[in-house]
Amino acid sequence: MAEITVPAKKFMRLFDYMARIGIDVPAVAALVELRPERIASLAPDHALPAMHYSLLYKAAAAKMQELEQSPPWAAGLGGERFELMCHCMIGARTLRDALQLAERFDALLYPLNGYCMRLLETPTADTARLSYEIDVSESAAIFLPENWDRVDSGLTAARASGLLVWHALCGWLIGQALSAAELRIDAPFVNQDYHDSLSRTISGPVYFEAGENTVSFDRALLDHRVVHTPESLADFLRNSVYHLIAMDRVPASTSAAIKSLVSIDLPSGMPSFADVAAMLYMSESSLRRRLQAEETSYQAIKDEVRCQVAIDKLLHEDARVADLAELLGFTEPSSFVRSFKSWTSYTPKAYKDRMQELGRA
C-alpha cells in the first residue's frame, strides 16, 4: 500500500492562485504547518503527502469564504455551506432521499451562493441525472483574476469540478462507485488532457458544449442505502480533498466506505470482514468480489487507515511509537516501525523530520 501523494507543483499552483485573489499565502500555509518557500525549493514533480494538500485546500477554502462571494470551485467543497449540506444528507436512508434533501438545501441558499443541484429522474428511464448549475458572473471578478493563466478555462473548471464532486460524494454515500456515469458540461472544451482526466475519474464519456451541466448514472443506485454515519462524515469532511484524490487515483467508493467504518471502530479494534459486509448490507462473497474488482483487499484498506492515523497522530499529537503501535493493534513497537516504513519508505522519526523540514516550527 503506497502513500497517496500529489506533486509539489500542485501546492505551488494553489499558493499562486491564493496570492492572485488577495489571500495571505504564508498565513494560510502556517495554519497547516507548511512553508511555501520550502516547497518551492523542491522539484515540481516531487511527491508530497496528499493529506497535507487536503489540509491546505480546506484552509484556503475557508479564507475564500471570507471574501464577498462564494468560490465557484468544486461545488463549494471545503466551505461551511458544503459541510452543512452534507450533515443534512447523512441521516437519509437512501441515495434518492439524500439527494432530495440536498436539492431542498440548495434551493434555499441559491440566492446567496449561486450553487444549485437538482435530481432529474424519469420513472421509465434506466439512468438518472444530477444537474449542477453555478452562476459565476458575480464571483468572476474575485475568483477569476485577469492575470491568472487559467482564466480562459475558469468557467469549464467551475462547472466540471462541481459535477466531479457530486459524482464522488454520491459514490461515497452508498459505498459504491457510480456505474454508467457520463458527464455533459455546459462549457467549452479546454484540451485533450483535461478531457481524458475527467473521463478517467468517472470511468465514462465526457461531452463539452453539451447544452446542460449534468452527471448521469444507473438509476437503480438511487435506491441503495446510505452506508455512512455522522461519525464517518466528520472524518470525510476533515479530509474531504484527500478522499476525493484517493477516489480519483483508484475509483473505489466501497473502499472509501470501509475506511470510514474501520476508522470509527479503531479504538475498540478492527472489525472483522463479516462485520464490515453486514454494515455495507452485502454478503461476504459480494464484498470480496467488489474489492477484487477495485484491485484491493480488506487487509490493504486496514493498512491504509493505519497509515493515515499514524501520520496524523505522529505529526499533530506528537504520539510515541509505543502508543501508536498499541492503538493500531501491533503486538510490538518494532512491528509497527517495519510496517510504517513499508507504507511510507520512512521510519516514523524520519518521516516526522522530513515534514518538519517542509514547514513545521
Architecture of domain 252-357: Orthogonal Bundle (1.10)
DSSP 345: S
56 neighbors 14 (Cβ within 8 angstroms): yes
Instruction: Tell me the H-state helices in the chain.
Output: 8-20, 25-31, 36-40, 50-65, 80-89, 95-113, 140-143, 154-174, 192-202, 230-238, 240-249, 253-265, 273-279, 284-293, 298-316, 321-327, 333-344, 348-357
Neighbours of 32 (CB within 10 A): 18
> CATH 1.10.10.60 in the chain, residues?
252-357
Q: Which of 92-96, 108-112, 165-169, 262-266 has the lowest mean pLDDT?
A: 262-266
DSSP 126: S
C-alpha cell at 289: 468480489
- As a whole-number percent, the residues of the chain with pLDDT over 90 amount to 34
Query: Residue 315 phi/psi, 5° resolution?
Result: -85, -35
Query: Residue 183 phi/psi, 5° resolution?
Result: -105, 135
Q: What pLDDT is attached to residue 117?
A: 93
Paired strand residues for 117: 132
Cα(171)–Cα(257) distance, rounded to whole angstroms? 9
Q: Which of 154-158, 160-164, 248-252, 281-285 has the lowest mean pLDDT?
A: 248-252
- Over range 309-313, report the average pLDDT: 88
The residue ranking higher by pLDDT, 257 or 77, is 77
176 has a pLDDT exceeding 50: yes
274 has a pLDDT exceeding 50: yes
Average model confidence (pLDDT) across the chain: 85
Q: What pLDDT is attached to residue 361?
A: 43
Query: Residue 83 phi/psi, 5° resolution?
Result: -65, -40
Give tens-digit pLDDT for 42-100. Answer: 999 999 988 888 889 888 888 888 876 667 788 888 888 889 999 999 989 899 999 99
Q: What pLDDT is attached to residue 230?
A: 84
Cα(104)–Cα(286) distance, rounded to whole angstroms? 34
The residue ranking higher by pLDDT, 143 or 189, is 189
Paired strand residues for 207: 184
What pTM does this model have?
0.70
- Over range 89-117, report the average pLDDT: 90
Query: 333 to each of 182, 269, 272, 302, 314, how far by Cα in Å?
Result: 48, 17, 23, 18, 14
- As a whole-number percent, the residues of the chain with pLDDT over 70 amount to 90
257 has a pLDDT exceeding 90: no
Query: Residue 202 phi/psi, 5° resolution?
Result: -95, -5
Q: What pLDDT is attached to residue 249?
A: 57
Q: What pLDDT is attached to residue 222?
A: 93
Cα(96)–Cα(115) distance, rounded to whole angstroms? 19
Q: What pLDDT is attached to residue 182?
A: 92
Cα(18)–Cα(139) distance, rounded to whole angstroms? 15
Q: Which of 91-105, 138-152, 250-264 has the lowest mean pLDDT?
A: 138-152
CA torsion sign for 325, 330, 334, 339 is negative
Nearest to 315 by CA among 272, 286, 347, 356: 356
Give tens-digit pLDDT for 321-347. Answer: 999 998 888 889 999 999 999 999 999
